[in-house]
Amino acid sequence: MSNLWGAVALLPLALSVAMPASPNRSQARSMVVSRHGIVATSQTLASQAGAQVLARGGSAMDAAIAANAVLGVVEPMSNGIGGDLFALYWEKKTGKLYGINASGWSPAGLTPDYIKTKNSWRMPQDGIDSVTVPGCVAGWEALQRKFGRLRWTDVFQPAIHFAREGFPVTEIIAEHWELSQSVLRADENARPLFLPGDKAPRTGEIFRNPDLARAYLEIARNPRSFYTGGIGKAIVALSQKLSGTLAAADLAEFEPEWVTPVSTTYRGWTVYELPPNGQGIAALTMLNLMERFPLDTLDPLSADALHIKIEAQKLAYADLVRYVADPRFAKVPVAGMLSKDYAAERARLIDRRKASDTAAPGKPPEIGTDTIYLAAVDREGNIASLIQSLYVSFGSGVLVPGYGFHLQNRGALFELDPDHPNVVAPRKRPFHTIIPAFAENGDRKIGFGIMGGFNQAQAHAQFISSIVDGQMNLQAALEAPRFTKLTFGGSDVMIEGRVRPDIRVELTERGHRLDVLGDFNGWMGGGQAVMHDAAAGVNFGASSPRKDGAAVPEPAPYFSPRARR
């Protein structure tokens, strides 16, 4: 007996030798690390579909489109073919970063006078008059034609499968579905399809959308069907039935635009966003302001660091809402907004001890909530950074009958003030919130994005600061506690409860009015990131726990005939 107790007494020592204690860390998950490709999305079935496309020899863009199509099935309130798309693609062999703006324009008949004839003095937030031309499918086609390796029809097979056969609804998506029941009940076409048994599907319940499978089959045969074929005709017929202005020519004449990304530097890194009409420029101007302060010497979650970032957000967003619009219609001072001298001038407005109540837009010099984001990297190191959305949950609330998808309500972001650069006008693209991003430092290339309406640009800046100033890895940077401010002006700010109580007290003493939310709150936006390290020949992936998703690696070819030999 004494020998037994002696062995038990020695057990802790033996375990400490056999299993060394791992160091404490703040992140909950580890990064995905692979010599092959990785796909990171907000739902695991979509990530898996993208990884399988990579294993079939597809490029990062093939995988991204396949994953996006699946997300339109499994996360229908957040994205789908009725919405818009923006993407960045880094091509390793050329070292070139490409950008595409596939945001749709307003109907030719949508004017301020038209809105006012409907007794409305603000842009409709839902319904047919909030609908702009969906750019997603045209964006997919242009991207796959330029960067794809597989047949166009192949990339839609996973989405068609899940739409036909069904899938079990995941946790966070089920919550969003339940919160959207009033929108779905208001549409006679959406109610029977998206509220089976007159209720939102619960976690684990199987949901099928055979109408959407039909739409994907048409698109797989001919992507122009969405604009001029059966789907396009159904959209126009619906618009006419609802007395909207969307006409056949608005769809048929739309084309996405290849654009040159805009960028800034931040302590040795170069960070890229797409140019206006999106809000990506606000992430860059916010970083320019933050660079004026010694954030690299501060704890990234200290009161000093958080205060500087919050105040930088206020100044960057004041310029955002004042100047950003469709550059084909308005003169957007992009170069001036990105000027380092302008940032130095604006940074002087930040009081390091006191929160500001107001933040007015500056005068840049004249120099010559419901969204999905996904990132994919293939084994060669090509990176797709892609974001797609309906805007609010289930978009306009208008479902295209027979095809199982909702139309976006991006027109809600237009202004009616005739002096504002974002005033509604025929064939104009509205101000856009969704933004993909890319960053590089030497051999390290990162595709990243964080969802959530006006949260996105400020979340991008915080993510980069976590990587650069906080020296965090991809997963830790996505998980790190964040703040978000979704109002313009005032000292209110939302912050996650993982920020220490003493830090929150100090921020309150500086004048910030904190709304303390849950530890991993959805207002902060879920995100994804992939990184290619060219020197090591290794890829990394990460996915935020604020969503249902994961980063999934491409399976290695261990079952191939070559491996069996």
CA dihedral 373, 52, 77, 461 (to 10 degrees): -10
Contacts (Cβ under 8 Å, ≥6 apart) of 181:
195, 199, 200
371 given a catalytic annotation: yes
Cα separation of 168 and 232, whole Å?
Answer: 30
Map residue 154 onto helix, strand or coil.
helix
DSSP string, 238-297: HHHHTT----HHHHHT---EEEPPEEEEETTEEEEEPPTTBTHHHHHHHHHHHTTS-GGG
Cα separation of 320 and 325, whole Å?
Answer: 9
Residue 108, classified by CB atoms within 10 Å of its CB into exposed (0-12), middle (13-18) or buried (19+), is middle
Q: Which of 371, 484, 487, 508 is catalytic?
A: 371
Contacts (Cβ under 8 Å, ≥6 apart) of 331:
421
Residue 281's nearest CA partner among 364, 341, 352 is 364
b/e map 496-521, b = 16+ CB within 10 Å:
bebbeeebbebbeebebebeebeebb
Contacts (Cβ under 8 Å, ≥6 apart) of 134:
81, 82, 83, 84, 104, 226, 407, 408
Edge to edge, what strands does the sheet with 84-91 contain? 257-259, 96-102, 84-91, 383-391, 370-377, 38-41, 550-553
Contacts (Cβ under 8 Å, ≥6 apart) of 186:
397
Task: Using the structure block, give the residue that is written with the tokens 């879920």.
Answer: 526
> Do β-strands 383-391 and 84-91 pair in parallel, antiparallel, or remain unpaired?
antiparallel
397 touches 127 (CB < 8 A) = yes
How many residues does the structure list for the chain?
565
Catalytic residues: 371
